[in-house]
Structure 1
Amino acid sequence: MGRTPHIVSDVMTQTVVAVGRDARFKEIVETMAQWKVSALPVLEGEGRVIGVVSEADLLPKEEYRGSDPERLEQLRRLDDTRKASALTAGELMTTPAFTVHAGATIAQAARMMAHASVKRLPVVDAAGMLQGIVSRADLLKVFLRSDEELAEEIRRDIIRHVFAVAHEDMQVTVENGVAMLSGHMSNTSLIPLAARLIRAVEGVVDVTFDVTGPTPVGARSAHTSSPEAGADLTGRA
């Protein structure tokens, strides 16, 4: 990745296959098979997203083939029984579609997917026009960043600007996405803040500390019996 990914536009797929409201059932299935996708945005006019049609929307056609569900079952699964007789994308689609803006953070998109229980989100502008699509796999791309890239960002954007210590006093290493800070920290009460900032770096899996410094007021160390003595603070924050 050329630059640090922070927002949806950094990881989304810009080339999107979509269908119109009047697309027929078989056309939808053929399009999914051709492009190897499991869902398609449904567009209206110049490209405004009005819904999404997925494999789950298509399956009732096969599920209810040759069967006549009992009345109670029909009432309990009214939406599915309706889709079993649907013929077009407009009749099959889930609407309104769950969408996300290109400027949303990757974390916001992940929370939206979890809340809506969907695997992908159409990316739209302020007018609801389709700009791209972002999937779970796209959001996980941040964890493909190299350990060296993560370590450099932590040094550049956190250690140098947040902590009042010389750059060489703190060592930053990253292994398999887990960051470790080691060395001397003049103000160990900043460890919780450091942990939050480092965990916020896209691609970091976790953070641990192996630092020495003054014991925070009210804290006790296994290596010292008084707050005035130096403390050895190790582990996760």
Structure 2
Amino acid sequence: MTNSRYTVADVMTTTVVTVTPDAGFKEIVAAMTQWQVAAVPVIEGEGRVVGVISEADLLAKEEFHRHRPGMIEQMRRLDDTAKAGSTHARELMTAPAVTVHADATLPQAARLMAGRRVKRLPVVDNRDVLKGIVSRADLLKVFLRSDDDLASEVRREVVDRLFPVSHHGVRVDVEDGVVTLSGTIRDSSLIPVAERLAHTVEGVVAVNCALTGP
């Protein structure tokens, strides 16, 4: 019922630090250090994302700097040992990159991050051209919405639509993101529906439902 869904476009960062496939190891480290980022998309041509380099991709070189892995360890950690000897982005990057589109919902982006075990996603268009980047911290921005903003949306998208006749008898209070619904409605069977829909409003932390029937 609620239709004001936040998407990746609402929370993503549009200024993105990137490198090209030919970027050298030191250039990559310098870019991450200068801009204080933990990962950079690798782009080619007009901005098409071909991979991502994270701090984890670079740490293998430090890990194996003085430690030469044995054959068993090499076989078990082929990717890491290969990256330890790499010097350019095309060899260091994780490819293909796990990406997301700007119109994806925040739960969709969160599930993708969790499922693929990544901390950030390059945001691309239908041609895989970079449009931004979204991190786990970005997905939490919706919880910074003001209580007044949340109360207005819960009333507009849940109470007014679900209870077109008795909505004036419903009170919506929000404190620190926790919504409290109280008052009397005509159809008590809709109480659990109201509670469930209030939970779906982006930025709501919890819902206390104190609605009663006639």
CA distance in 1, matches of 2:64, 2:191: 59
1:96 paired residue number? 96
Residue 149 of structure 2 aligns with an amino acid whose one-letter code is E
Deviations 1:150-203 (CA, angstroms, capped at 9, x unpaired) = 001111111111224333200000111111100002111112221221111110
Q: Which residue of 1 aligns with 2:46?
A: 46
Partner of 2:197: 197
Q: Which residue of 1 aligns with 2:183?
A: 183
- For 1:128, what is the secondary structure of its paired residue? coil
Pairs aligned (count)? 211
The corresponding residue for 1:22 is 22
* Paired amino acid for 2:64: Y
Alignment map for 1:55-204 (pairs within 5 Å): 55-204=55-204
Identity of aligned residues (%): 60
RMSD of aligned residue pairs (Cα, Å): 1.1
Question: 1:23 corresponds to which letter in structure 2?
Answer: A
The CA distance in 1 between the partners of 2:149 and 2:68, in whole Å, is: 59
Q: C-alpha offsets along residues 19-53 of structure 1, whole Å, 9 cap, x if unaligned?
A: 00000000000000000000000001110000000
> What letter is aligned with 1:195?
E
Identify if the C-alpha distance between structure 1 residues 147 and 157 changes in structure 2 by more than 3 Å, giving closer, same or farther.
same
Unaligned runs of 5+ in 2: none
AA partner of residue 181 (structure 1): L
Give the superposition deviation at 1:121: 0.3
Measure how far apart 1:97 and its partner are: 0.5
Residue 117 of structure 1 aligns with an amino acid whose one-letter code is R
Give, as a single letter, the amino acid of the residue that structure 2 aligns with 1:48: R
Bigger relative contact order, structure 1 or 2 (CA pairs below 8 A, ≥6 apart): 2
Q: Secondary structure at the match of 2:51?
A: strand
Query: Alignment partner of 2:109: what SS?
Result: helix
Q: What corresponds to 1:219 in structure 2? A: none
* Runs of 4+ with >2 A deviation: 164-168
Q: Distance in 2 between matches of 1:16 and 1:30?
A: 15
Higher Cα Rg: structure 1 or 2? Answer: 1
- The corresponding residue for 1:211 is 211
* TM-score where L is the length of structure 2: 0.96
What code does the residue aligned with 1:189 have?
Answer: S
Instruction: Give the aligned residue type for 2:152.
Output: E
